Amino acid sequence: MKDTSKHPCFNIEAKGKYGRVHLPVAPKCNIQCNYCNRKYDCVNESRPGVTSALLTPKKALAYVEEVKKIEPRITVVGIAGPGDPFANAEETMESIRLINEKFPDMIFCLSTNGLNLYDYIDELAEVGVSHVTLTINAIDPAITAKIYSWVRYKKRVLHKEAGAQAILDEQLRCITKLKEKNIIVKVNSIIIPGVNDHHIPEVAKKVSELGADIFNCIPLIPTEETLFADKDKPPKEMIEAVREGSKDYIPQMTHCKRCRADAVGLLGKDNDMCMEKLQTIAFPKPSDDKDRPYVAVATHEGLLVNLHLGDADEIHIFKEIDDKYKLHEKRKAPKPGGGDTRWKDLADSLSDCNALLVSGVGPSPLKVLKNSELNVIEMSGLINEGLNHIYKGTELKTVKKRDMFKCGSACSGNGLGCG
């Protein structure tokens, strides 16, 4: 039996003694919360849905191995996005299986909205998941419908109260089954002024009746470019009133740090060395990656990065040889048409490439290529400058968008942090 007292999120006495590592292996989500914008990606953003990199299951195992060397006090492996673990069930389960085989004493936890969770609960118990957090913001479909723009359930996109009822039904039945498997259940409720602040004690009462173990009232973080961007943060008095109204039904968690999807270290004290290791593993240099030693470039003439990916008939492939960059070959790009199939074919043809340098790329190909573990960098200027950045880690002055660090279109910073 794992010592679950060493989980700092569920046990306040453990928060200064033991740490956690969140693995960003789940980029897709199956709901759209009106308070969530996952495209922001700033190092100083500390909230759920934010990560500076994505990991495959194998890279997640390698990352945990390195993290344990740097910070041996880490006892918990969590998956909390940046989307939802069960919108990415295959990646989530493979990550847990791999890490549980290597580190069977680690505590495993998941944070999910509950959609698509039910059918995996038996397997979760088998592979050692001991803690699950469900975000339940209302038990009244009329209120829930104000919080979610849409819900994707069983390959259908549902809106308004139909979507609200679907997610509520799944959440409640999951609590019951999780408890049948002796899994500790925490319920998060986001306090949204004027929407559900008056209703959250009813949520606490209901989930307590179903056997949930602990309740976490989380103040809304108003986020730009969301439907709730103009909502006020809940005042201290409102937070205290909501917790006061809920505490008679279920124990309250009051030390939540609203962690990023790539949080690592002690609560409130993320480990910078571990965060650097995340980048190294997620984006290895070609010289350190025997399976991906090349860099692909979209270019007109072979000197400048000056071609939008959609306009590229061929891709130039470069490799570092004796500290110089040599053109290895030119590869034909898939012809236009075919939707995402075109970009999947391109990803397959670049499976030995560590990175792709382009002057521009659309959101659909960017998503497909990144999911194939290709580091896509939008820039303009000399190819050699881009290659120096990839192979030697030099600063890229001609970069158009810092995918890892810049907040997004609303960020006025230089990509090095908002502080």
Measured over the CA atoms of residue 401, residue 402, residue 408 and residue 411, the dihedral's sign is negative
274-295 average pLDDT score: 81
Which pLDDT does position 38 carry in this prediction?
A: 65
Q: What percent of the chain has pLDDT over 70?
A: 90
DSSP secondary structure letter of residue 334: P
Domains (ranges, CATH) in the chain?
A: 4-281 (3.20.20.70), 284-392 (3.30.420.130)
416, pLDDT greater than 50: no
Residues 148-201 have pLDDT tens digits of 999 999 889 999 999 999 999 999 999 999 999 999 999 999 999 999 999 999
How long is the chain?
A: 419
| pLDDT at 401 (0 to 100) | 47
Distance CA 324, CA 287 (A): 12
pTM, to two decimals: 0.74
- Angle (CA) 41-112-212 rounded to 5° is 135
Closest CA to 59 of 329, 331, 260, 292: 292
CB 278 within 8 A of CB 53: yes
| H or E, element range at 108 | strand 107-112
